[in-house]
């Protein structure tokens, strides 16, 4: 579970509902089924209309990914590739066939197998860059779907408010009509639109952007590591190349010996 996503949503809801209560409002006043239908169902419909059905089917997966902790450790990849580079220089590229079977990441495993099969370096780079680009495009479509829903929700909230006001104004001549309550209910739709857009759809889309960026970085590290191994680079050179992708704190950690005796 990605606790940041969960904590963010909880804080957002508590902040809005808590503020409403402190102002003397009632949470029950924010419950309005017609407004929910207009904004939530309407914005989902608009979002679905704007993308292909193949993207729509990924919505449950997208939402699940936003709440799932991403198990990516770019720092752990550096010593792994350094070791493989050392073995390749000492025993040849074919010696990495056994290592390839132990690699969990499908992208890295495929690249390693291409190296073992003798694929040309330019062809290898082209194949791996195509894989990265395709993944980035898939992510972009899913993120755009959520951003679209988030952009439609406020407008549909205004639409819901207008529809509510039309109903209220239509009852102006009726005896005992409660205009204040009717207008309040009408504006609940606007609340739904702004709330869902800025506290659900757009933040989730941004979270997926960050996770996509992390996945792309990991694949770029893998690609550069594999190309360096194929070129026969010195293990230290491989390490230095890959450490360029890491933040300074992680670089320092990798350069610090785990055993104090090694520093002596």
Contact 115, 124 (CB under 8 A): yes
Q: Give dist(CA 1, CA 5) in Å, integer.
A: 9
* Tens digits of residue pLDDT in 20-67: 899 888 888 888 888 899 999 999 999 999 999 999 999 999 999 999
Looking at residue 125, its pLDDT comes to: 94
Average pLDDT of 150-169?
90
pLDDT-derived band of residue 260, with 50, 70 and 90 as boundaries? very low
* Tens digits of residue pLDDT in 104-130: 889 999 999 999 999 999 999 999 999
Look at 13-22, 96-105, 217-226 and tell me which has the smallest mean pLDDT.
96-105
Looking at residue 75, its pLDDT comes to: 87
Average pLDDT of 231-245?
91
And the tokens for 110? 């495929």
Looking at residue 176, its pLDDT comes to: 52
Closest CA to 82 of 262, 255, 204: 255
Looking at residue 261, its pLDDT comes to: 43
* Tens digits of residue pLDDT in 171-199: 776 655 567 767 777 789 999 999 999 99
Contact 131, 107 (CB under 8 A): yes
Residue 98 predicted with pLDDT over 90: no
Q: Give dist(CA 239, CA 237) in Å, integer.
A: 5
Range of 21-30, 71-80, 101-110, 152-161 with top mean pLDDT: 152-161
* CA distances to 22, 65, 186, 189 from 38, in Å: 28, 27, 11, 7
Question: What's the chain's average pLDDT?
Answer: 88
Average pLDDT of 58-83?
89
Q: Which is more confident, 212 or 262?
A: 212
């Amino acid at each position: 579970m990605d606790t940041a996503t969960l904590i963010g949503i909880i804080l957002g809801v508590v902040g809005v509902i808590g503020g409403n209560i402190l102002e003397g409002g009632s949470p029950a006043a924010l419950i309005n089924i017609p407004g929910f239908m207009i904004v939530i169902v309407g914005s989902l419909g608009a979002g679905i209309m704007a993308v292909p059905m193949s993207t729509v089917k990924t919505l449950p997966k997208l939402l699940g990914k936003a709440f799932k902790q991403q198990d990516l450790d770019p720092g752990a990849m550096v010593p792994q590739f350094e070791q493989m580079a050392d073995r390749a220089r000492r025993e040849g590229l074919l010696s990495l066939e056994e290592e390839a079977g132990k690699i969990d990441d499908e992208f890295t495993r495929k690249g390693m197998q291409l190296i073992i099969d003798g694929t040309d370096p330019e062809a290898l780079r082209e194949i791996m860059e195509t894989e990265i680009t395709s993944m980035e495009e898939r992510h972009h479509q899913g993120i755009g779907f959520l951003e679209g829903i988030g952009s439609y929700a406020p407008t549909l909230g205004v639409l819901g408010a207008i529809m509510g006001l039309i109903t209220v104004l239509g009852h102006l001549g009726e005896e005992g009509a409660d205009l204040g309550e009717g207008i309040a209910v009408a504006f609940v739709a606007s609340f739904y639109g702004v709330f869902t857009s800025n506290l659900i759809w757009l933040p989730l889309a941004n979270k997926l952007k960050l996770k996509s960026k992390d996945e792309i970085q990991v694949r770029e590290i893998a690609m550069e590591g594999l190309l360096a191994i194929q070129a026969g680079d010195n293990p230290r050179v491989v390490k230095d190349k890959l450490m360029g992708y890491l933040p300074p704190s992680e670089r320092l950690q990798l350069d610090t010996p785990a055993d104090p005796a090694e520093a002596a």
